[in-house]
Structure 1
Amino acid sequence: MADRVSHDPVVHITEVRELDRDLVVVPDGRVQLVPNIGVIGGRDAVLVVETGLGPRNAEKVLEFATEYARGRRLYLTTTHFHPEHAFGAQVFAGEATFLVNRAQAEDLKVKGAGYLDMFRGLGEPVARQLEGVVLPEPDLVYDEAYDLELGGRTVQLRATGRAHSRGDQVVRVPDAGVLFTGDLVEAEQFAIFPWFPPYDTDVSGTRWLAVMERLAGEGARVVVPGHGAVGGPELLADVRDYLRLLRDETWVRRDSAMSAETIVEEVRALMIERHPEWAERDWIEKGVGCLCAEHPA
């Protein structure tokens, strides 16, 4: 996220895709800093997954969700605290019950202001979307697991533990076989490692890999990544295999006492050779740095 952003990271409520009965995704359109947004319905209530970046994007999401709900009660959750996923939650206050896991709530409280400042520095279009942001306080906080009953449909919220962030959460819709992963999974791009020592080192490549090994083994018919096209279980396998290879290739070079620069150069070249079509190549270096720090000395 070191590069400045010149485009407007705007959520467009277009090409809404129905994944199952009463379950839709507003796609990101492959626009950086726009997440995939989910709306999951039951007989009595509707759950919104992600807000978009800032109040103006969230207003559009809330308007769409309210129309979709047609009088049903609204809930909101976010897969993690990063700005394009959660920094519009204030708009839902009084309109929806906002619920997240405890680690994510702590991330919002402790790290939210720093991330707000950092993202404002990414360029005028991003700063404009973040005007007027007030960091939210969740209405409901759970520890590790929460089953949300929407009426004839139960949605499972599960804290994964530290991985992409401390407070990652997946959202599973068992009757539809749908899994929302947030930034634990991206489609056709390299994994986002927010590794910014000494300011933020909460991302863990080794724990992230363990989470992906578990998720890949649990089975999901449809996977909604944080960014990129909706896919199937192959998305989980792709990230698992990438993280495993990134770890192994980084650690074997770390064992040989190569310089940090050489490790990055060689591993980056190998990862691009394996996945020449994947975007966001700059995150490879961040991943190598994280895994070097996690190397079992």
Structure 2
Amino acid sequence: MTTTSAIPDRELSERPEGYQGPNLSPVGLEHRAHRFDDGVFALMATLPPKDNNGLIVGGDAALIVDAGITPAISAQIQAQAAMLTDRPVRYLVNTTYHGDHTFGNAAFPDEVVVISSRLNKENMSDLDNEKRQRTGNMYGSEAEFDAVTRWRTPDVVFDDFAEIDLGGRVVQLWQFGPGNGPGDTVVYVPDTRTAWTGNYVCHAGIAPMLLQGGPEPYLASLRKLRETLPDMAIVVPGHGPMGDALEAVDWLIGYLERLRDEVTAAFAAGRTLEQAQAQVTNPWAETLTPSLVAALSDYAVPVEFATQGLLTLCRNLHRLNVLATYRSLSRYS
């Protein structure tokens, strides 16, 4: 079976009025290692929602999850890996094609094999366009992209499933279908029941980001994920705190189902986009969920700052999701 994309080739360029996306600037970014087991680490950004990474070590080799937004951040990730293990880094997996996860690819040695889904690689063809897409997330640090002069694409691609043996530790790579992008890749370590999910699944209660289509293809892929990996315990997202994996998947399915149903009803009733924005239920109208607030307490920044910043971001992403869903209905009407 080969996964095919049911969403547009290009990212949605339109944004709601007054929209503010996640701050992904590398300025001040550091990572704190969270150890799950010998050789399995989440590298958590100390300033959410900047990018998290991962390090998975076997008896023979090590694998890094995502490359960072600039060569300097890539070097920082590699230096941290060298402090955590003496095994050579042989593999780098990209969970998505987005530049904040892949611009650092070129800073890895040539002998490191870069792996991702075929669909992710197919979307890594226009460096200038990708820089433009991510510039809005740099918040005054756009000059950091001057160091990104080459977009190294994956050396090895897969369609639905691949497996890497690091020497006594197997890492599974899965691509279940469209989500945040067309080729979201899940990195799963069966012996620790831990999954790195990039932009595909975040902690329960954090808004997703619909960038290349509406909810329906995303829902189908999430159900496939849940059926395929029922023992998955922890999700390490590309952004924000880690959390209970199946709770996160179930929450996201519930959110996307309601988003689909309510926007579809508004569209069928002839509501304008602005009317739909006002009508559709906003889970972030007041506060974040208590479990999410508790998860944010692990960061170096004051929890009040992290909480308010994430609440504002989720409200913005929700408005983007309503827009994307409405536009997806318009395309097929």
Asked if 1:103 is matched to 2:119, the reply is yes
Deviation sequence 1:158-191 (CA, Å, 0-9, x none)? 1222221122111111111111111112224211
Asked if 1:208 is matched to 2:218, the reply is yes
In structure 2, do the counterparts of structure 1 residues 10 and 84 end up closer, same or farther at CA, with 3 Å as the change threshold?
farther
Is the 2:219–2:256 contact (alpha carbons within 8 Å) kept by the matching residues of 1? yes
Is the 2:67–2:103 contact (alpha carbons within 8 Å) kept by the matching residues of 1? yes
In structure 2, do the counterparts of structure 1 residues 166 and 126 end up closer, same or farther at CA, with 3 Å as the change threshold?
farther
- Rounded Cα–Cα distance in structure 2 between residues aligned with 1:250 and 1:92: 43
- Rounded Cα–Cα distance in structure 2 between residues aligned with 1:178 and 1:207: 24
Which residue is 2:141 aligned to? Answer: 126
Asked if 1:227 is matched to 2:264, the reply is no
- CA RMSD, 1 decimal: 2.4
Asked if 1:272 is matched to 2:314, the reply is no
Is the 2:59–2:87 contact (alpha carbons within 8 Å) kept by the matching residues of 1? no
Which residue is 2:206 aligned to? Answer: 189
- Rounded Cα–Cα distance in structure 1 between residues aligned with 2:256 and 2:24: 30
In structure 2, do the counterparts of structure 1 residues 138 and 6 end up closer, same or farther at CA, with 3 Å as the change threshold?
closer
Match of 2:196, SS state, is: strand
TM-score by length of 2: 0.78
Asked if 1:82 is matched to 2:82, the reply is no
In structure 2, do the counterparts of structure 1 residues 86 and 288 end up closer, same or farther at CA, with 3 Å as the change threshold?
same
Shift of 1:54: 0.8
Shift of 1:124: 6.1
Which has the higher relative contact order, 1 or 2, with Cα contacts under 8 A spaced 6 or more apart?
A: 2
Is the 2:25–2:137 contact (alpha carbons within 8 Å) kept by the matching residues of 1? no
Which residue is 1:283 aligned to? Answer: 317
Shift of 1:125: 4.3
- Rounded Cα–Cα distance in structure 2 between residues aligned with 1:23 and 1:151: 13
Shift of 1:241: 1.1
Identity %: 24
Q: How many residues align?
A: 286
- Rounded Cα–Cα distance in structure 1 between residues aligned with 2:238 and 2:159: 22
TM-score by length of 1: 0.87
Gaps of 5+ in 1: 195-201
Match of 2:125, SS state, is: helix
Deviation sequence 1:193-237 (CA, Å, 0-9, x none)? 22xxxxxxx344211111222223432111111211111121111
- Rounded Cα–Cα distance in structure 1 between residues aligned with 2:111 and 2:46: 27
Asked if 1:27 is matched to 2:61, the reply is no
Is the 2:67–2:74 contact (alpha carbons within 8 Å) kept by the matching residues of 1? yes
Which residue is 1:197 aligned to? Answer: none
In structure 2, do the counterparts of structure 1 residues 9 and 158 end up closer, same or farther at CA, with 3 Å as the change threshold?
farther
Which residue is 1:12 aligned to? Answer: 30
- 223-232 or 126-135, larger mean C-alpha shift: 126-135
